Amino acid sequence: MFDKLENVEKRYEELNLKISDPEVIANQPEWKKCMKEHADIEEVVEKYREYKKVLSTIEDLKEMLNDKEMHDLAQMELEESKEKLPQIEEELKLLLVPKDPNDDKNVIMEIRGGAGGEESSLFAGDLFRMYSMYAERKRWKLEVLNLNETELGGIKEVTFMITGKGAYSRLKFESGVHRVQRVPDTESSGRIHTSTATVAVLPEVDDVEVEINPADLKVDTFRSSGAGGQHINKTESAIRITHIPTGVVVECQTERSQIQNRETAMKMLRSKLYEAELEKQNSELASARKSQVGSGDRSEKIRTYNFPQGRITDHRIGLSMFQVDEFLNGNIDEMIDALNAADRASKLAQEE
């Protein structure tokens, strides 16, 4: 571990020189890349330097033990310093766990009604409200990119962007199938129904991260429509883009301008193609992924919302929480913290 830390500190010093080099500054893409790497390893370097400082203090205090006048004070401080070392070592181990390069990115989320007819659409609407309220708690910006509602106020599908620092790191484990068990408003006999909705969480990616050949795109325009097919826009401003090589299709109809809808649809497409590439890479590491919190597979049932018992259970980590209403009001940090902690522990175990 300490050889690795020495190399990280050495790289940090190299980057210090690079980011202040006029030639590198003139090459903005290179400078930004160096700045990002510098920021990514800064916390590790600061913690390692704190560790070395404590080690140095311990050596100085050991020498002071020979001084009769300073012995008692030195002994007390020596014990305190020795107690610090194991804690700093654990913190260093966690900091050395490879960080997800997407953690600081904004996210594009998709929620779709699954099995259960209209009740699944109503549940999809509940999940959208939950994430909207969570974004509000975090003071993040939420922008709806595409929305398809039902006659009864549910959501067939919704795509939206959440902009805010660390949004992906907090929401990435929400991908998968969410299941609800409750008595629907439309159920007169009081029988409990089980319905599902799927959630996908994609990191927003830049043009440089995903190259798209314009010749590979089929672009269609159509009129924006609301619930029940009622037209809310008389011009063909809505955009549908099909990526021919992969068959990936995205739609955007929330903006008044066709140009704006196209720009937004391209953002969605880049994120979907990026996700597909990540899935391809990760499938090669399938055995490692099984021990992690979640694969992000949309077919994986990750959580159950049981209304009669007021319980939310995350099946990946076996954690159950209560107060389902509070949870659906966006109070989901405790669950997210537990998922992130489980993921870190899993990665740390793999490193060892």
Q: Determine the residue type at 155.
A: I
Give the pLDDT of residue 226: 53
**Residue 113 belongs to domain with CATH number:** 3.30.70.1660
Same domain, 91 and 224: no
Residue 102 located in a structural domain: no
Residue 160 φ/ψ, nearest 5 degrees = -145, 155
Same domain, 63 and 186: no
Residue 230 located in a structural domain: yes
Specify the length of the chain in residues. Answer: 352
Same domain, 78 and 196: no
Same domain, 154 and 251: yes
Could you write out the DSSP letters of every residue in 138-184? TT-EEEEEEEEE-TTS-EEEEEEEEESTTHHHHHGGG-EEEEEEE--
CA dihedral for 204, 208, 210, 214, sign (positive or negative): positive
Same domain, 184 and 213: yes
How far is 93 from 12, CA to CA, in rounded Å?
Answer: 18
- Identify whether the C-beta of residue 179 lies closer than 8 Å to the C-beta of residue 193: no
Same domain, 113 and 235: yes
**Domain closes at, from 96, 125, 149:** 96
Give the pLDDT of residue 231: 42
Residue 289 located in a structural domain: no
Residue 338 located in a structural domain: yes
Residue whose entry in the numeric block shows the structure tokens 């990026």: 274
> 93 Cβ partners below 8 Å, 6+ apart?
1, 348, 351
Same domain, 22 and 154: no
Residue 352 located in a structural domain: no
**Domain closes at, from 61, 96, 131:** 96
Element at 198 (helix H, strand E):
strand 193-203
- Identify whether the C-beta of residue 332 lies closer than 8 Å to the C-beta of residue 310: no
Same domain, 119 and 59: no
> 262 Cβ partners below 8 Å, 6+ apart?
219, 239, 241, 252
In the predicted model, residues of the chain with pLDDT beneath 70 are 186, 188, 207-209, 224-236, 281-299, 351-352
How far is 343 from 338, CA to CA, in rounded Å?
Answer: 9
How far is 344 from 346, CA to CA, in rounded Å?
Answer: 5
Same domain, 87 and 112: no
Residue 39 φ/ψ, nearest 5 degrees = -65, -35
> 289 Cβ partners below 8 Å, 6+ apart?
282, 295
The predicted model scores a pTM of 0.70
Residue 268 located in a structural domain: yes
Residue 79 located in a structural domain: yes
How many domains are contained in the chain? 2
Provide the 8-state DSSP code for 207: G
The dihedral over CA atoms of 172, 173, 177, 178, expressed in degrees to the nearest 10, equals -110
Same domain, 236 and 302: yes
Same domain, 158 and 276: yes
Identify the domain containing residue 87 by its residue range: 2-96
Give the pLDDT of residue 298: 53
Element at 130 (helix H, strand E):
helix 118-137
**Domain closes at, from 42, 66, 96:** 96
Provide the 8-state DSSP code for 174: G
Same domain, 72 and 187: no
- Identify whether the C-beta of residue 330 lies closer than 8 Å to the C-beta of residue 134: yes
The structure tokens listed for 80 are 């305190």
Residue 134 located in a structural domain: yes
